[in-house]
Structure 1
């Protein structure tokens, strides 16, 4: 041991005489070799002598290693490391290397690159915390020399080809998480069901290598991620609105009194806050901030709870997070160091505008700080063309792709110099297109490259269609369209005209032709001097058919028009009518045919014809029924008799109605009429030449009354019965 000057000896004895000890930081300020007393309850390696303990100066770690990293490779987390320690303490329980910021769980990993070279070392990887623990393989303390050698061989890797950003590594002696940006330490203390006030008291009663503890205060997203996502559990933090409802403050540590939230879930923050969805909600006097149970909403976010929380489930406190560092008067510990890696990433600017036929291009790109931008001619390997934020190409005559990175080949990005060739003047498939009648017309033009745009004028105007084949809207008059070729921004200004000529097709009219039964009929296409094609295969203008049906003829005008119109002729066969019978009821007669049709007309005198087959007031006597087809296809006749039975007669010799006589009976000489009185007594029989009755019985006049008759013509006709009146 080095000699101690007299003043230091006096101080040692002064301390011993008062049975007190200096804080670690203060003792270290005296001399790294000074032996003194300590009340550091977190140190495990203490030297005891009688009733006094000798304080061990905490080790100090210094590390370097700010480096660039390419994804899917490995890199040492330090380029150099030095652990200085008290000669009385040669080792510690464990050392830790943690990805304390920028951690990507499941992609980032820390490993010992060559474990065979470190037989006294064992490592374990905590994927949740992103922390690699380095401990003794035998279970005791790991020597600082072995720890230092192992940390030199700890490597980082990321399995994603698209990884980006900065990763910060914390190298610490104690097991608390260390965040380089705050230089504070964070430790989760499990304690099921602990209240917030008890957690606050316990945190403030603890220390870490001489740093006073307090419930954690979270001032940034980086701090929230380390505490909430990479910690081993959830629990209380140092926020509360118990003083004023809705005004959330940090009430612990050096930030005590700082407001970080106003209101409930829809409130606002003047500083950083990380509430879970719908929080804080103040359900049941919830005045204390708590890191939410994993699996409930956003990972690592906060919720508000009452002082005791729930007795079970997701909102039962599982412990608390203690933060160390930053309290007034405290010196910074050196038991932790940090390094970082940056994944270099070049971001190219938008590709330059294309040029026509040839030209030079200037590309620009930006990169992460400290990176050099490299320009290549290939996505992998290739030639390094230039370095720097811009690159100007030689004169190019074809589209060319270049690549840029910031030091990592796997992160190369492509940029494109587009050279468009000016297309040749379009060639129309046909300079004139003919169309028969109005309608849509398809026209076509092609060029050696690019696209075809169609216009309605030879210069200027706006393109109405893009594509080689253009189907026009319905057109009915001659018109000219113009085709122009373009390749990107390179345009051939010469436009190719395509004329559309509209021909008038032959004017045909469909018709219906009557074919009389047993006859033939001529069908006429209707326009002379054309070409004809009938559905029968015939090619004459007029053809003769003998069967009903639908016939078509394509009428085509001569070349160059060659326009075709189709005429349809419907041939209807009209049958010659056949009268089946005529039914007569008094003076009403109905003519019945064997087959009815609406093209027949009827008559009972051969002069006046009608569409109806029913006739009224037909005169008595022998009559003839006439039926004929309206278009002259033929007709048929049938005789019939109309009998008229008088309803009364007046036998008073005034020459009017003096006898009862059935008109028309002369056509049935074989007929017989029997007359009865109202009691059924036979009065007389009329037949042959005697077909009238004068109202007498045996030449004696009968009284006025009703009398009945029965007329029998023959056995083929029904018996006609009725009655009439005799009036005197």
Structure 2
């Protein structure tokens, strides 16, 4: 209450009657009027000491109208409204109606029955979701006209699938009112203002007696009203200046409340709505700001330094002041709210399918207070029943039912599914056969659904699902059973499918020897079969004359018709041919024109060995033998073994008394010349004299080493060596 004199009263009356109400000014106008009133009061008090008490009461709005709304229609936002105002204040600059929660871009507020309001003009802000009602001639709009106009404001939504609840805030002041918090919010434009300046400016602002502060945001509808539906973007009261990464609300009644920990991938103990990649906690970006439209997530926040950027998307554009909730303050009644709810029926889950025919119990829930109706068509039709449950008649085909809650345009479907029980499966073959153990693919079909395979005629666990069943490896006669199923509707009459296992012919692979220039018979080995040789022949026994690998497919008679393949390797052995025999003393080596491991050798014709090397062969004319081990033939070769004694002892003891070349008798033309160590000829041996007694001219020669040279003939090389004469 203020004390003012009569002149002041007159001034105020003039202000209230002919100028816009101070209660409808922006914060700047409110402060300016308050200063003017204060100055006038002081001046009047100096002139006149008499005082009159004068109460200035803000207008009070009471509205009702919580209603159901059906999309694509229109509905009045109030069912009743009253504006109580000071008798000295007959009007206001404007009235405001905002969709303060649940707002959709397809929502719209407009004044209906325009002809009844010739002095009224309206403007719709689709961004803020806000309708402004003003005097079309300018100046104040009388409260009576405003009240009458609000009664004719209607809401509409153009989508047939709209849902949710819309809350309407009806207020005299320009600040946005949010019914869920009972607070007021006002964006104050101020390009380039710092966060600290904005905080001070907000805290010195008042709104109809409520103290202001930088806005704090604790819920999604609060964030949407401030961020998406505000007339601009600006500073809000969040900061992590105290502890880096710990974001708190530092203004208003929520000061000290932590709403975020960490950088962009941090966590929140309360509501937070950071833009993508924010907060990044860089470059002293310690203050929260509503993100510029077009940058990232609409209506979200980003962190800036105290001054923000000098231009562009991250330059501060102003600040958001919140009024309400400070200690000792009572809620203003210059705003009222109503709401409409779009009733929605939510059907329960589709009921479980049944087989062939039956009845279903369908369930649904709806927005409290709405009436649930059931239909058999998506639009139109007749109501089949009402309430949370509906029992269908007996049906034999899948049927779709529809449910709505008071609004027929928003029906939801519920499907009652009827599945048909399949006919008994049809097997492609009743019996399958297989030659020997193995896997068999068996087949069956159903008129509907799928085939499940079992190992028994009843019960058991399905082995496989599908028309074509590849069995595991089986070695004995087996029966499997096909059962038809259609989404749980089972025909229990299983169709048997038999598998007969036949034993294929038992054949044994062979390797046989074919001698050079001969023929050999190949036998498939089992009589009474059909045969197919790799040569194209079809007899059980065939004759071949060349080595190689031959196969015979042996097939048993019908119904088995099982085939086994016999493989015969024909190994052709050549007749051996001796090319030469090398003799070195008593050692002889037999060489062939072509070696093979199936040959064996001998130097006496009796004892044969695999090796072609022989030791201690007696001197004289010898014969080398070679033959194929399996009797395919052989060859012989004569050779002579000549042995030169390594020493002799001419001492008449009957042992080694002379030096004689064994085997020399086989070469009548041979001649052996003996020399002493100095190259002196000491003896000659030939066919008539084949031994030396160690003398020269009957004179015994001394014990020593002597050398020999043996010339057999002109075709053989000279054989040279030495021996010892021992006394």
**TM-score interval, normalised by the smaller of the two chains:** 0.7 to 0.9
What is the distance in 2 between the residues matched to 1:282 and 1:692? 122
Contact 1:110 1:125 in 2 (8 A): no
Asked whether 1:482 is paired with 2:484, we answer no
Contact 1:42 1:209 in 2 (8 A): no
Contact 1:289 1:302 in 2 (8 A): no
Contact 1:451 1:468 in 2 (8 A): yes
Counterpart of 2:49 in structure 1 is none
Contact 2:371 2:386 in 1 (8 A): yes
Counterpart of 1:433 in structure 2 is 432
Contact 1:643 1:662 in 2 (8 A): yes
The verdict on how the C-alpha distance between 1:369 and 1:239 changes in structure 2, with shifts beyond 3 A counting, is farther
Contact 2:375 2:382 in 1 (8 A): yes
SS at match of 1:222: helix
Counterpart of 1:696 in structure 2 is 695
Cα offsets for 1:639-688 (capped at 9, x unmatched):
22222121111122323222222222222222232222212223333233
Counterpart of 1:6 in structure 2 is none
Counterpart of 1:725 in structure 2 is 724
What is the distance in 1 between the residues matched to 2:299 and 2:624? 110
What is the distance in 1 between the residues matched to 2:442 and 2:413? 40
What is the distance in 2 between the residues matched to 1:225 and 1:36? 31
The verdict on how the C-alpha distance between 1:423 and 1:273 changes in structure 2, with shifts beyond 3 A counting, is closer
Asked whether 1:237 is paired with 2:237, we answer yes
Deviation of 1:112 after TM superposition, in Å, equals 7.1
Contact 1:661 1:691 in 2 (8 A): yes
Counterpart of 1:101 in structure 2 is 101
Deviation of 1:502 after TM superposition, in Å, equals 2.0
Deviation of 1:438 after TM superposition, in Å, equals 1.2
What is the distance in 1 between the residues matched to 2:177 and 2:184? 5
What is the distance in 2 between the residues matched to 1:179 and 1:521? 111
Higher mean displacement: 337-346 or 427-436: 337-346
State TM-score, norm by structure 2.
0.79
Counterpart of 1:569 in structure 2 is 568
What is the distance in 1 between the residues matched to 2:77 and 2:151? 8
Please list, as runs of the form range in 1=range in 2, the aligned pairs for 1:318-333 lying within 5 A after superposition. Answer: 319-326=318-325, 328=328, 330=330, 332-333=332-333
Higher mean displacement: 74-83 or 355-364: 74-83
Asked whether 1:68 is paired with 2:66, we answer no
Counterpart of 2:453 in structure 1 is 454
Counterpart of 2:50 in structure 1 is none
What is the distance in 1 between the residues matched to 2:240 and 2:717? 121
The verdict on how the C-alpha distance between 1:630 and 1:136 changes in structure 2, with shifts beyond 3 A counting, is farther
What is the distance in 1 between the residues matched to 2:161 and 2:710? 119
Deviation of 1:79 after TM superposition, in Å, equals 7.3
Counterpart of 2:185 in structure 1 is 186
Cα offsets for 1:5-44 (capped at 9, x unmatched):
xxxxxx99x7444858999xxx9xxxx9799995876286
Cα offsets for 1:69-105 (capped at 9, x unmatched):
54xx58578478989799988774x77664432345x
Contact 2:17 2:89 in 1 (8 A): no
Deviation of 1:359 after TM superposition, in Å, equals 0.9
The verdict on how the C-alpha distance between 1:420 and 1:636 changes in structure 2, with shifts beyond 3 A counting, is same
Deviation of 1:725 after TM superposition, in Å, equals 0.7
Please list, as runs of the form range in 1=range in 2, the aligned pairs for 1:597-608 lying within 5 A after superposition. Answer: 597-608=596-607
The verdict on how the C-alpha distance between 1:122 and 1:302 changes in structure 2, with shifts beyond 3 A counting, is closer
Counterpart of 1:416 in structure 2 is 415
Counterpart of 2:364 in structure 1 is 365
CA RMSD across the alignment: 5.0
Deviation of 1:444 after TM superposition, in Å, equals 2.5
Deviation of 1:562 after TM superposition, in Å, equals 2.1
Contact 1:96 1:174 in 2 (8 A): yes
Cα offsets for 1:406-462 (capped at 9, x unmatched):
467775443222222223333333333322211112223333333222222233222
What is the distance in 1 between the residues matched to 2:10 and 2:239? 33
Cα offsets for 1:563-588 (capped at 9, x unmatched):
22111112221111122222222222
The verdict on how the C-alpha distance between 1:64 and 1:574 changes in structure 2, with shifts beyond 3 A counting, is same
SS at match of 1:332: coil
What is the distance in 2 between the residues matched to 1:594 and 1:141? 134
Counterpart of 1:584 in structure 2 is 583
Counterpart of 1:5 in structure 2 is none
The size of the alignment, in residue pairs, is 692
Contact 1:95 1:147 in 2 (8 A): no
What is the distance in 2 between the residues matched to 1:437 and 1:282? 77
Counterpart of 2:558 in structure 1 is 559
The verdict on how the C-alpha distance between 1:725 and 1:375 changes in structure 2, with shifts beyond 3 A counting, is same
Contact 2:186 2:320 in 1 (8 A): yes
The verdict on how the C-alpha distance between 1:446 and 1:37 changes in structure 2, with shifts beyond 3 A counting, is closer
Cα offsets for 1:38-67 (capped at 9, x unmatched):
587628699999x97999976969696845
Contact 2:238 2:248 in 1 (8 A): no
What is the distance in 2 between the residues matched to 1:379 and 1:675? 135
Please list, as runs of the form range in 1=range in 2, the aligned pairs for 1:266-415 lying within 5 A after superposition. Answer: 272-274=270-272, 290-291=288-289, 319-326=318-325, 328=328, 330=330, 332-334=332-334, 336=335, 338=337, 340-379=339-378, 385-406=384-405, 412-415=411-414
SS at match of 1:226: helix
Contact 1:377 1:401 in 2 (8 A): yes
Counterpart of 1:634 in structure 2 is 633
| Runs of 5+ unmatched residues, structure 1 | 1-10
Contact 1:603 1:626 in 2 (8 A): yes
Contact 1:452 1:484 in 2 (8 A): yes
What is the distance in 1 between the residues matched to 2:273 and 2:78? 39
| Runs of 5+ unmatched residues, structure 2 | 42-53
Deviation of 1:529 after TM superposition, in Å, equals 1.9
What is the distance in 1 between the residues matched to 2:20 and 2:529? 129
SS at match of 2:492: coil
The verdict on how the C-alpha distance between 1:292 and 1:113 changes in structure 2, with shifts beyond 3 A counting, is closer
The verdict on how the C-alpha distance between 1:256 and 1:379 changes in structure 2, with shifts beyond 3 A counting, is closer
Cα offsets for 1:235-288 (capped at 9, x unmatched):
232789979x98967762xx467x64499558985xx443759999999999x9
The verdict on how the C-alpha distance between 1:101 and 1:727 changes in structure 2, with shifts beyond 3 A counting, is same
What is the distance in 2 between the residues matched to 1:329 and 1:550? 111
What is the distance in 2 between the residues matched to 1:199 and 1:719? 129
2:26 alignment partner, one of 28, 42, 54: 42
SS at match of 1:709: strand
The verdict on how the C-alpha distance between 1:552 and 1:623 changes in structure 2, with shifts beyond 3 A counting, is same
Cα offsets for 1:531-559 (capped at 9, x unmatched):
22212222211111122222111112222
What is the distance in 2 between the residues matched to 1:101 and 1:617? 122
Contact 1:522 1:545 in 2 (8 A): yes
Contact 2:400 2:414 in 1 (8 A): yes
Deviation of 1:403 after TM superposition, in Å, equals 3.4
What is the distance in 1 between the residues matched to 2:628 and 2:400? 89
The verdict on how the C-alpha distance between 1:689 and 1:36 changes in structure 2, with shifts beyond 3 A counting, is closer
The verdict on how the C-alpha distance between 1:349 and 1:659 changes in structure 2, with shifts beyond 3 A counting, is same
Deviation of 1:521 after TM superposition, in Å, equals 1.2
The verdict on how the C-alpha distance between 1:496 and 1:42 changes in structure 2, with shifts beyond 3 A counting, is closer
